[in-house]
Structure 1
Amino acid sequence: MDLVTQHLVQPDDLNYHNNLFGGKMLSWIDEGMAMFAMMKINYTNIVTVSMDNVVFRSPARAGDIIQIYGKIIKTGKSSVTVKTLAISNNPQTGKLAEVIESEISYVCLDDKGKPYFHFRNFKIQSEKP
């Protein structure tokens, strides 16, 4: 899996029990993975269709660095599905923990907002810029 993005958990990101809000984590994942997919498929007009198999495994706390990894696992006529894994990295202790795992599907749209069959001649962009 490729490292897609990283975020530092701040006090404003925490809920009443001092854990990272699940919605905040999902927002970071969706945004980061959408940009990742755009770069890999060389197409930017995509929308999130679903976040499936979302499994929260452990909490993240203030000061943790959230590292979000991803890879493309499937393409359809106009859709791309990515697998994502978020890890919390505590820089003080060096402890790593899997926070969340999920699959996200995006659909390519044309200029009129209709599904666009982008994957007729599709090649995933190389790993190196």
Structure 2
Amino acid sequence: MRFLSRRLVMPNDLNFAGSLFGGRILEWIDEEAYIFASCQLEAKSLVTKHIGEISFETSAFQGDVVEFGLEAKKVGRTSLSIACVVRNKQTKQTICEADDIVFVHIDPETRQPTPHGKTKEQLDKIPIEAP
């Protein structure tokens, strides 16, 4: 798994207890996973179909830098399944994991699923640039 992106936890990202709000991290995961899927498939017309179990392990606090590790798990004819791990950049402690995020490639005009034309083997060969 490659850690490709980072975010700074700001005051507006916190919950009432002063730690990173779970809803904010879910928003970030969906966005980061979309960017990853879009780059892997070289396609913009993707929609989130499914986000499986999310496991929260530790907290993050104001001033922490969190990083997002992403990898393609499964490639379907019209879909791509992704795993994401969010961890603290400094301590490397896992903050949360989402092991089953599914995006579907759609036709921009009909909004119906359409083949993306990629295989797992092709995606595994794509060089991934680190920030």
Q: Which runs of 5+ in 2 are unaligned?
A: none
1:45 CA drift (Å) = 0.3
1:128 CA drift (Å) = 4.4
Q: Which runs of 4+ in 1 moved over 4 A?
A: none
- Percent identity of equivalent pairs: 27
Aligned equivalents of 2:42 and 2:102: distance in 1? 16
Aligned equivalents of 1:28 and 1:128: distance in 2? 19
Correspondence for 1:85: 85
Correspondence for 1:110: 107
Mark the CA change 1:128 to 1:55 in structure 2 (over 3 Å): closer, same or farther. closer
Alignment deviations for residues 37-67 of structure 1 (CA, whole Å, 9 cap, x no partner): 1111111100001111211111110011010
Please give the root-mean-square deviation of Cα atoms over the aligned residues, in Å.
1.4
Correspondence for 1:100: 96
Contact 1:4 / 1:32 at 8 angstroms: preserved in 2?
no
Q: Which runs of 5+ in 1 are unaligned?
A: none
Aligned equivalents of 2:87 and 2:13: distance in 1? 16
Aligned equivalents of 1:37 and 1:19: distance in 2? 29
Question: So what's the TM-score if we normalise by structure 1?
Answer: 0.89
**How many residue pairs were aligned?**
124
Aligned equivalents of 1:2 and 1:44: distance in 2? 21
Structure-to-structure mapping, 1:8-47, within 5 angstroms: 8-47=8-47
Correspondence for 2:49: 49
Contact 1:38 / 1:46 at 8 angstroms: preserved in 2?
yes
